[in-house]
Structure 1
């Protein structure tokens, strides 16, 4: 079954708004609430811990925390701590980060793909309780083992857009986070690319696929969703957004599910004045799709 979640964006929403938003998302019956860490706004792990602490069943996704900002051992400690305190409810994701922001803090890697290929396997091994020794271009560890690895080891997601990153994600991560403004067909091609990368790496099993989807409710929903484009709106814009009634949005979610997406995460377009009301509508979508 495809799960349905929503996003708490760090752009119009200050950190102190997350408390009420997380409670509202759980009350609305959503499966997940996703956060992300854009420089220089909310901290991913501090925000996730706050949201987990005020809810009891809601899963919290981090999509994503930039790899260059943290040593992989520190990221493993953050994830393990939360996974032990809130078993089965954290969906941690990592990614390249916006390269101009990484340059601002002197953390921009010359090869983001190399960093992912070194970082994700080390992170997964640490979370699995292994002792990790590795010497790479970016990740170097000498017999590092977590004292408190999680008993319920979470999947490690990686954000991917371009073809090379999609293949790398399949090879080294457990799940992928696809960005918004994709058509369902493009999302399906992303799923296929990730699966190919997984197969090429000799890994069995299925990749877990998350896709963000811009969605707005109401008779003017499509118009408001089109506001995500600051420049010229593409001719196929309405295939890249969801809008209208709850039934309309649910139909769009089903298209992504048919394309192989396991988690469809609804992103409010721009500034949403009433997140609780938005989550209530998204919860109705979840019940229709479920």
Structure 2
């Protein structure tokens, strides 16, 4: 069964998060996803607050840019969330936007190498291992967490290009695909992820999380078109309309192989609280029918 969620975009001021998280929790939304975009809001701090304010809501962060983060710090923060809120956290890491990484002096010459090293070390640390790495970018000397997660703590990876998708299949526990990715893009991604999994002899389930740009209301189509025009990657896939139209788009992505579809509002969404309630109360029943 496909999981349905929504995004709290960091274009919203941080003080807006509480009311959106509470609206999502009370409406029965399955997942609320946050972003760590430069130079807007912290993914970890926002996730901790949203989890503390709510009772049932599952919170995802997609994604944490690895050039900004020492892997030991990412592991400590991730483990803390998993210990405080077991079963309610999903974290994804990725390259980050390269222009932003350049702007803060953190751009890697080989983003793929950095991501590979970060994923291996992070998964090891969260698995309770003592990790020693002498890589090109990641260097750890007998590092182990005193408080690793009690149970599984999957690490997802954001990916778009073929090499990163293969790496995600090989070295992560799931893949996050950008908004604009249509059914054909989901199928292509699944093929490339599976190539990586086969190369690493992995047989575990590898979920695909897909952001779906969505809007409802009288100006929905115009808002979706404008936002899709700014997207890099993807297939130009989005949806504007009522709950039935959005549910149909969700079903198409699910049939193509998406395990989770996360509705992404446009940056000018006038009422984010209403958007999460629309997702949970109007779209979800139609997806289930």
* Pairwise CA distance, 1:220: 4.3
1:287 aligns with: 285
Shift of the 229–253 alpha-carbon distance from structure 1 to 2, 3 Å rule, reads closer
Contact 1:3 1:286 in 2 (8 A): no
SS at match of 1:78: helix
* Pairwise CA distance, 1:230: 4.2
Contact 2:215 2:240 in 1 (8 A): yes
Q: Of the candidates 239, 244, 248, which is equivalent to residue 242 of structure 1?
A: 239
**5 Å matches for 1:255-274?**
255-274=252-271
1:61 aligns with: 60
SS at match of 1:60: strand
* Pairwise CA distance, 1:222: 2.7
Matched residues, number: 284
Q: TM-score, structure 2 length as denominator?
A: 0.95
Q: 1:82-120 deviations in whole A, cap 9, x for unaligned? A: 100000111001011111211122111100000111110
Q: CA RMSD in A?
A: 1.5
**5 Å matches for 1:64-83?**
64-83=63-82
- Consecutive unaligned residues of structure 1, counting only runs of 5 or more, are none
- Consecutive unaligned residues of structure 2, counting only runs of 5 or more, are none
Q: 1:157-205 deviations in whole A, cap 9, x for unaligned? A: 1100000110011110001000011211111211221111111111112
* Pairwise CA distance, 1:219: 5.2
Which whole-Å CA distance do the structure 2 matches of 1:106 and 1:256 have between them? 37
Contact 1:29 1:286 in 2 (8 A): no
Which whole-Å CA distance do the structure 1 matches of 2:249 and 2:33 have between them? 19
SS at match of 2:197: helix
Tell me whether 18-27 or 73-82 shows the greater mean CA deviation.
18-27
